[in-house]
Amino acid sequence: MRHSCALTALLVSSTTCFAQTGVDLYGIVDVGLRATDGLGANNAPTPPGRTSAVSSGVDQTSRWGIKGQESLGGGLKALFRLEGGINADTGAQAKSDRLFDRQAWVGLDSPYGQLAVGRQASLLSDALIPVDPIGKRFASLNPNINVAGLSNTAFGTHAFGRQYGPSGYSDNFYRLDNTVKYTGTVGPWQARAAYSFGEVAGDAAASSSHGVALAYQRPDWVVSGATMQFRSREGLPLDAWSVGAALKLDAWQFKANAARNVADTGPGKTVHQRVLSAGVSRQAGRDLLVTTAWYGVRREATGFRDDGFDRGFLFVEKTLGPRTTAYVEADYTVWRGDAAGLTASRSNDRHGTGMTLGLMQKF
């Protein structure tokens, strides 16, 4: 009986504490039925042939998180956020080695800006938020996330082959450990600066990253860009930048972005990547949003044939409720050079198509 009373008291006190500090549980569960031709279940090129699958995160990445804040007086607030990706089709964590692979940080917010410390998205990711033509949807297939934002550099013969910055992975530098990020807003201007510690003994620059970002935001238009440099453990540099704009005219919204990155991958070896993208969205009625976009990726690597791909998207989203959206997505990819590659010595299809019917629920 004493244990039961103690547990009840603990739960009550915890609830009171949470209410005072404003702790919230939130997330997205996005699952769709996807059919492809010339693309595998993981959206990699395949020989001609159709594939069907249940996919997670085609509209918005499935995730869950905990966030909170506490007022400290004088306009000062303490903040924290813990967020992890979910493969909603299997129930697995997006990253098996990390519970909170997307965000894990604590910070302070004041009239002079916000300072956050921990695992956070890169400044390239931040800069893309308002200007990506499809609104950073379909993260596993979106070239601005994969190529411009450096979330998948292991693609084909032009792979970087090493880790740059403290991301924890050899092919993904979209989110970085050990990061100190400052965000300041003055009128329509928003500026960010970040430094990620490599924490390599005896070499402060190794595996580190740093950069700045700047955005100018008005009610109907925005310009947003960022530049960053990453270092490998061996001191090899990866330099990247991204800049884009968005314009809203009545029910129409236009977005465009340009990005480029250059990595030294070894003595006398480099990989160059560039992405151009543009798209338009229209609110077709109160509950229907139609978005279409095109992305062009071009890549050069020492010792390899230049390659790349062009990819188009169409999203039609129907709002069913405040937290529920049904959607249809279609995509078409044309591979250039040797980008399509081989599967078991058989040439992959030079074209890839996909279509998804999905449902997204937010909580």
Tell whether 20 is covered by a domain: no
- Tens-digit pLDDT profile for residues 188-238: 999 999 999 999 999 999 999 999 999 999 999 999 999 999 999 999 999
Of 353, 354, 355, 352, nearest in space to 328 by CA: 355
Helix or strand (DSSP H, E) at 2 = helix 2-21
Phi, psi (rounded to 5 degrees) for 123: -65, -30
Q: Are 245 and 131 in contact (CB under 8 A)?
A: yes
Tell whether 19 is covered by a domain: no
pTM assigned to the model = 0.91
Tell whether 263 is covered by a domain: yes
Tell whether 347 is covered by a domain: yes
Tell whether 358 is covered by a domain: yes
Tell whether 342 is covered by a domain: yes
- Tens-digit pLDDT profile for residues 94-112: 999 999 999 999 999 999 9
What residue numbers bound the domain in which 136 lies?
Answer: 29-362
Tell whether 12 is covered by a domain: no
Q: Which residues, including other chains, have CB under 8 Å from residue 347's CB and lie 6 or more apart?
A: 47, 340
Number of domains in the chain: 1
Tell whether 3 is covered by a domain: no
Angle CA 299–301–302, to nearest 5? 160
Per-position b or e across 314-336, b if 16+ CB within 10 A of its CB: bbebeeeeeeebebebebbbebb
DSSP state string for 296-316: EEEEEETTS--EEEEEEEEEE
Instruction: Identify the CATH number of the domain in which residue 218 sits.
Output: 2.40.160.10
Per-residue pLDDT 10s for the chain (363 aa) are: 444 444 444 444 444 444 457 999 999 999 999 999 999 878 889 999 999 999 999 999 999 999 999 999 999 999 999 999 999 999 999 999 999 999 999 999 999 999 999 999 999 999 999 999 999 999 999 999 999 999 999 877 888 989 999 999 999 999 999 999 999 999 999 999 999 999 999 999 999 999 999 999 999 999 999 999 999 999 999 999 999 999 999 999 999 999 999 999 999 999 999 999 999 999 998 899 999 999 999 999 999 999 999 999 999 999 999 999 999 999 999 999 888 888 888 889 999 999 999 999 999
Structure tokens at 299: 């890549």
